A and B are shown apart, each in its own frame.
Chain A
Amino acid sequence: MSTRWYPIYQRGNPQLRIFLPNFWMKLVRPEEKQPKNVVQFKVPTGMTNYDIENYLKKIYKIKVIKVESSIENGKMKRAIFNKYGPIVKEDDFRRAFVTMPRDQEFEFPDVCTTEEFKKRTAEDEKSSKVSQDMYKDFLKKQGNRPGLPGWFSF
């Protein structure tokens, strides 16, 4: 959501004129098999089915047959390295299934296929491998002296 507040309309107030909504919708790749004319979104929990329909119709000029949505729980995880510390919960979100007319098809595009992206991911992997190796070396040195700081000996 943007920082601008979405004012509640009270009777008697001037009519709300919204040029762009305060919502963001995220198109997601389906994890399960679904019909070709169905598109899946993750949207803010405050958005209603009518909002979703209007958003797609008015901004993107998409023909919408129906919208089904439900609020899902955010993931539970451990706060530190996903392994230690208290259990925390990510934010809830609304998962929306938008049905287009059945003669239309949508396939989730293959994003992130450029050369630049591949180069960047390769670099990332390389650096993470280096740090992993360093950690292994550190463990080897510390093997029979647990709890000793790294600077203690050469």
Chain B
Amino acid sequence: MLTVRIPKRNVPNVFGRSLSSAYVCRQESRAQYPPIVDIKPEPTLLRQELSDHEKIRNLSTVEEKSIGINMPRYYGWQSLVVKDKVIPYDFLPFAQTVTKTKIYEVDTLPNRLSNDDCQQFIDRIKPQLEDSLVFEYNRNRSRGKAIKSDKNIDESGSTNEFAKSIAEQVNRIFLANLSADYPHLFEAQIDYEPRVEGFWNVHGFAATKEDEEIRKKKNVPKENLKNPIDRWIHYFGRPTIQVRHHLPLPSVPLDKWTLTTAQSATSDIPKTAFKEFSIPNYDYDPSIYHKLPYERRHGISIPGFWPNDQQKFGLLSIHTNEYLEDRPPNFGESEHQEAVHAQAILASFAWLIGQASYQGFTICNELTYPLVNQSIITNGKTWSFYMYQLNTMRFFKSQDDINRPIAPSNICWGTKQTELFHNITDDRIVGWNDDVLKDLLSCYVNIPKSRDHEMCPYLGKEQLVANIDDIKKRVWLHDRYKVLTSHRPRHRLLPEVYDWERIYKIEHETRHFEARRRFFELEQDPLNERRLDDHYGPYIQRKDRDKGRRIRKKRFDDMYYPNV
């Protein structure tokens, strides 16, 4: 065998120390180093949170963003379920804390018209309203049985039906009379009993014993066990009527309305007396005190219509408060009033985050401009009016540092419950309250205006899944979005620890010799670790696979989950 040996010493070594160090010295000015970051566990988690949210921000369509929020959990997020008409005792502090809302109880709302403007409309509307109110009051709504004549209207059980039909009549009369003069009402869409859902995260709840147990398992240091934690909140609502328009309501000039007190009001600024409820720090576990249930759900924010609807901004929503009748009287009158405030805050917030999510903002990316909503809560006779301005909807832990020193808050202005009229005698309405009529009128007359800034800064050029060109991707994403919003349970049951396993395997190790096969024995946590895309795509049959040849690659179809 002939080999030519080259002695090592004689070859000039290009990668040798002297040459390469010289090379490094030359390149040093051009070198790019990764940023120096704090690698302690907590800052790492916060960085992870921010980078995940950045990924969601970069998604180009509304539907993909809402799938993106759900990506970390296959079985859905463990969330507190809040329903619109289930309002426990002392609920306002909770509602304010989870929505970061300041509420001002005022006599006149920011959108109130001056007296001269409304008088002619009120005069025109009054007789029509009287007709329909008297009709609704005298109508037999017992579905077959005759109402006893001596029974008062307030005692009849069907207040919801009653309030609903009165709200519908009032809405009809106002729209019919005003749309000639106010074309925005002519363009508006009206939904009856739409499905409204809001899903958001709130940081800062006190850790429960279970949370501490979970943290102990994750080897969190002892001093951090009691740190505040995040809770996901899922709101389900069903307003009686909602009116929406393709332009947003103008934002409230804040300098005029938050700073005026009864004493300091000057002459040119409207004089308003108000009672302020500033944001409390309600961090108790709501499942104990308010008995709110925890459920595992895919988080979805829907404002009552699908994303490709043209009328995307809320004008007005009307709710009923028949639940007040069933609340025990020992709660007290002022508590009942606060319950209505809480209902208004939650309903407006949930509707507005739904609208904001259709503009491309999510709970992970802060709003860039305020959104405004008006809402009315009624039981047919007493009415209260609310105006809500959404300034912020990102309540994650990483937001705390961004918000320092002053955190923005949402603002709600509301009136007390006021009677529209005093009584009905001999088919005539006695004691009209014109203030309520003016408030009603002001809600309808508030004209939405186009804004001069960009409305969807976080959306790509497609904006909606419907505009994606790739037909396969479009259909897939559309189906996936509909499946998530439907809240149907997953195909397979949730993994469960049976009682005998908890007793004889987890709490007391009595079965040493059995094979460890179950997820809790393998130190897995499928509920919190399995991701939404952790499954195969649809199976491709062999005949459809590469001209029927026997190959094993690519047996499952593509999936288009967003990369979050």
Contact = CB atoms under 8 A, between A and B. Distances in A.
A31 B207 CA distance: 11
A28 interface: no
Given A76-B503, A78-B508, A87-B503, A33 B285 contact: yes
B206 interface: yes
Contact of B328 (A32, A33, A66): A66
Interface string A63-92: 001101000000010100000000100000
Given A65-B330, A65-B331, A68-B291, A32 B508 contact: no
Given A65-B330, A76-B503, A102-B90, A35 B289 contact: yes
A76 B330 contact: no
A37 B335 CA distance: 15
A34 interface: yes
A35 B89 CA distance: 12
B241 to A, nearest CB: 32
B193 interface: no
Contacts of A33: 206, 283-285
Contact of A34 (B288, B332, B508): B288
Contacts of A37: 90
Nearest to B502: A76
A68 B291 CA distance: 8
B507 interface: yes
A145 B288 CA distance: 55
Given A65-B331, A66-B89, A34 B289 contact: yes
A101 B90 CA distance: 9
A87 B510 contact: yes
B40 interface: no
Interface string A96-107: 010101100000
A38 interface: yes
Contacts of A31: 209
A63 to B, nearest CB: 8
A19 to B, nearest CB: 26
A34 B284 contact: yes
A29 to B, nearest CB: 13
A34 B90 CA distance: 13
Nearest to A77: B508
B208 interface: yes
Nearest to A65: B89
Q: What size tier do the contact residues of chain B reach?
A: 20 to 34
A102 B330 CA distance: 12
Nearest to A78: B508
Contacts of A32: 206, 208-209, 285, 288
A89 B284 CA distance: 31
B507 to A, nearest CB: 6
B504 A87 contact: yes
Contact of B508 (A38, A66, A76, A97): A76
A125 to B, nearest CB: 24
A144 to B, nearest CB: 28
Interface in B509-557: 510
Interface string B267-297: 0000000000000000111001101000000
A76 B206 CA distance: 27
Contact of A76 (B284, B332, B507): B507
A107 to B, nearest CB: 15
Nearest to A70: B291
Contacts of B332: 101
A32 B206 CA distance: 8
A35 B149 CA distance: 47
A102 B334 CA distance: 12
Given A66-B328, A87-B510, A97 B503 contact: no
| Top 9 A-B residue pairs of the complex, sorted by shortest distance between their CB atoms | A33-B206, A102-B90, A32-B208, A35-B284, A33-B284, A87-B508, A34-B284, A35-B289, A65-B89
Interface of A: 31-35, 37-38, 65-66, 68, 76, 78, 87, 97, 99, 101-102
16 contacts: A31-B209, A32-B206, A32-B209, A32-B285, A33-B285, A34-B288, A37-B90, A38-B288, A65-B89, A65-B330, A66-B89, A68-B291, A76-B507, A76-B508, A78-B508, A102-B335
Given A37-B90, A76-B507, A102-B90, 18 more contacts: A32-B209, A32-B285, A32-B288, A33-B206, A33-B283, A33-B284, A34-B285, A34-B288, A34-B289, A35-B284, A38-B289, A65-B330, A68-B291, A76-B503, A76-B508, A87-B503, A87-B504, A97-B289
Interface of B: 89-90, 206, 208-209, 283-285, 288-289, 291, 328, 330-332, 335, 503-504, 507-508, 510
